[in-house]
Amino acid sequence: MPISLYNSLTRRTEPFAPLDPARVTMYLCGPTVYNYVHIGNARGPVVFDVLARLLRRHYPQVVYARNITDVEDKINAAAQAEGVPITTITERYARAYHEDMAGLGIAPPDVEPYATAHIGAIVAMNETLIAKGHAYAAEGHVLFDVASYPEYGALSGRDTEELIAGARVEIAPYKKNPTDFVLWKPSTPELAGWDSPWGRGRPGWHIECSAMCAAQLGETIDIHAGGNDLLFPHHENEIAQSTCAHGGKTFARWWMHNGMLTFDGRKMSKSLGNVLLVHELLKLHPPEALRLRLLSGHYRQPLDWSDGAIQQSVSTLDGWYRVLRDLADVAIDAAQLPVPSAVKAALCDDLNTPQALAELALLADAARQHGTPAAKADLLGGGALLGLLQQDPETWFKRVGGTTVNAAQVEALLDERRAARGARDFARADAIRDELTAMGVVIEDGAQGTRWSIAKA
Ligand SMILES: [Zn+2]
């Protein structure tokens, strides 16, 4: 089944064919680690995690790189505000980022380059660009000379005159042209910096990605991904730097961009007070419901986030996990899950996750009706491709907010209640039921004994 992917560069959906089918390369712009990330920042990592899962089914080797930007002005500001070295900030928030991503069921990338580990490569790329006449040094800065690259603007469809007229670029005395952008800038003694031919300084953000991409994946990569807020200028600048440094070679063959999140129909902003941190959401909601919500819209479209939408995702997962719980005794080979063709076909069609989820719902219906090992395996196999339904159904039902309740404590109370009922001490049995209710636990007495789950908020 061929994979088709929309390419932001050609503005068409095209059959995906890697340069080297033995080694598919993909790069996603990662976080700048100076605070906790918000849920909008998690959409790209979740979406491209699904793409990586799909590619791994088609190709023997996929090298997926997601970087960490660990030197940047916002990091400097955070470090100065706390009076600590930048590594205190970057280590703290890189760790938090890893925890958040793991919480959302995102597999770690194959490589995770750090910008500060690539300073030599960044300096070398600057020197190459200067030598080839695409960059110049001025007042401790190195700037990319946009006029030297006539194709500039091809990705975003902007021309440079429009940019100047729209004042989208910073005017500075050391620039030859207002559209020229910074590759290297001087650091004052209290700021993080490295020695370079242009004095002590630090890299601009754009060149970090170009240098890390080349160092980790090669000069031409198959897929470069990111949020559509990065399309201009970040990705436009990456293309200019990499193409010019590498003698005109294509930098990324596919450019993929995910849409932004809105919150109850509004843009997320600090002033509106609707900034939702992944870190906080993971404590309030089952993480898998957050992942499901992020996959519920097509990745290129905007996606609205609301409490109602999360509750709907929780209900959907309740239904699917109920099927799996009812089929707990149906034995399957969990190590050899099938890849249901309808789910795969939806993902092969430009990562159509809403369609894939609709197919997964049909597989859940089939498993509910037929209860066969094949139907159960299909449901789990379809879920695996999306990174869903991989936990024990009992664990899914035993949680409060994002956290699983203390199952041992609940079981002990249920044992005590059973004993009380056996001794016809109904007052005690009712008291235990009340205690469980207060803990948010709902119990159902049935022919096969007592089952418990967590009450809906
Ligand atoms: Zn980047």
| pLDDT tens profile 186-215 | 999 989 999 999 999 999 999 999 999 999
Span from the CA of 186 to the centroid of ligand 1 (angstroms): 21
**Mean local confidence (pLDDT), 88-97:** 97
Q: Residue 77 has what pLDDT?
A: 94
Span from the CA of 25 to the centroid of ligand 1 (angstroms): 15
Span from the CA of 284 to the centroid of ligand 1 (angstroms): 31
Span from the CA of 214 to the centroid of ligand 1 (angstroms): 12
CA distances from 341 to 231, 293, 344, 360, 364 (A): 33, 23, 5, 11, 15
Span from the CA of 174 to the centroid of ligand 1 (angstroms): 25
**Region of poorest pLDDT, from 47-61, 273-287, 350-364:** 273-287
Span from the CA of 258 to the centroid of ligand 1 (angstroms): 14
pLDDT in tens, 343-381: 999 999 999 999 999 999 999 999 999 999 999 999 999
Span from the CA of 302 to the centroid of ligand 1 (angstroms): 21
Span from the CA of 348 to the centroid of ligand 1 (angstroms): 25
Span from the CA of 246 to the centroid of ligand 1 (angstroms): 17
**434 exposure class (CB count in 10 Å sphere: 0-12, 13-18, 19+):** exposed
DSSP alpha helices (H): ranges in 168-276? 205-217, 236-245
Q: Residue 439 has what pLDDT?
A: 80
If you search the block for the tokens 């079981």, which residue do you land on? 411
Enter the DSSP assignment of 156. T
Span from the CA of 83 to the centroid of ligand 1 (angstroms): 28
Span from the CA of 213 to the centroid of ligand 1 (angstroms): 9
3-class DSSP assignment, residue 285: coil
Span from the CA of 141 to the centroid of ligand 1 (angstroms): 20
Confidence of residue 53 (pLDDT cuts 50, 70, 90): very high
Span from the CA of 69 to the centroid of ligand 1 (angstroms): 9
Rounded to an integer, what distance in angstroms lies between the CA atom of residue 97 and that of residue 89?
Answer: 12
Span from the CA of 232 to the centroid of ligand 1 (angstroms): 11
Q: Residue 454 has what pLDDT?
A: 77
**Mean local confidence (pLDDT), 220-227:** 98
Rounded to an integer, what distance in angstroms lies between the CA atom of residue 245 and that of residue 66?
Answer: 21
Confidence of residue 441 (pLDDT cuts 50, 70, 90): confident
Number of other residues whose CB lies within 10 A of the CB of residue 81: 10
Span from the CA of 208 to the centroid of ligand 1 (angstroms): 7
Confidence of residue 126 (pLDDT cuts 50, 70, 90): very high
Sign of the torsion formed by the C-alpha atoms of 213, 217, 222 and 225: negative
Span from the CA of 210 to the centroid of ligand 1 (angstroms): 7
Span from the CA of 438 to the centroid of ligand 1 (angstroms): 48
Span from the CA of 136 to the centroid of ligand 1 (angstroms): 22
**334 exposure class (CB count in 10 Å sphere: 0-12, 13-18, 19+):** exposed
3-class DSSP assignment, residue 307: helix
Confidence of residue 404 (pLDDT cuts 50, 70, 90): low
Confidence of residue 402 (pLDDT cuts 50, 70, 90): low
Residues around the ion ligand 1 (C-beta < 5 A): 29, 209
Span from the CA of 263 to the centroid of ligand 1 (angstroms): 25
Question: Which among 103-107, 168-172, 429-433 has the top mean pLDDT?
Answer: 103-107
Span from the CA of 417 to the centroid of ligand 1 (angstroms): 58
Rounded to an integer, what distance in angstroms lies between the CA atom of residue 250 and that of residue 243?
Answer: 6
Span from the CA of 12 to the centroid of ligand 1 (angstroms): 22
Query: In the chain, pLDDT over 90 holds for what percent of residues?
Result: 82
Q: Does position 457 have pLDDT exceeding 60, yes or no?
A: no
**Region of poorest pLDDT, from 193-207, 233-247, 431-445:** 431-445
Q: Does position 163 have pLDDT exceeding 70, yes or no?
A: no
3-class DSSP assignment, residue 215: helix
**What average pLDDT does the chain have?**
93
Span from the CA of 314 to the centroid of ligand 1 (angstroms): 33
Span from the CA of 238 to the centroid of ligand 1 (angstroms): 7
Span from the CA of 387 to the centroid of ligand 1 (angstroms): 25
Span from the CA of 209 to the centroid of ligand 1 (angstroms): 5
Q: Does position 322 have pLDDT exceeding 90, yes or no?
A: yes
Span from the CA of 29 to the centroid of ligand 1 (angstroms): 4
Span from the CA of 235 to the centroid of ligand 1 (angstroms): 7
Q: Which residue has the higher pLDDT, 269 or 138?
A: 138
Say what angle helices 205-217 and 119-131 make with each other, to 10 degrees: 100
Span from the CA of 223 to the centroid of ligand 1 (angstroms): 12
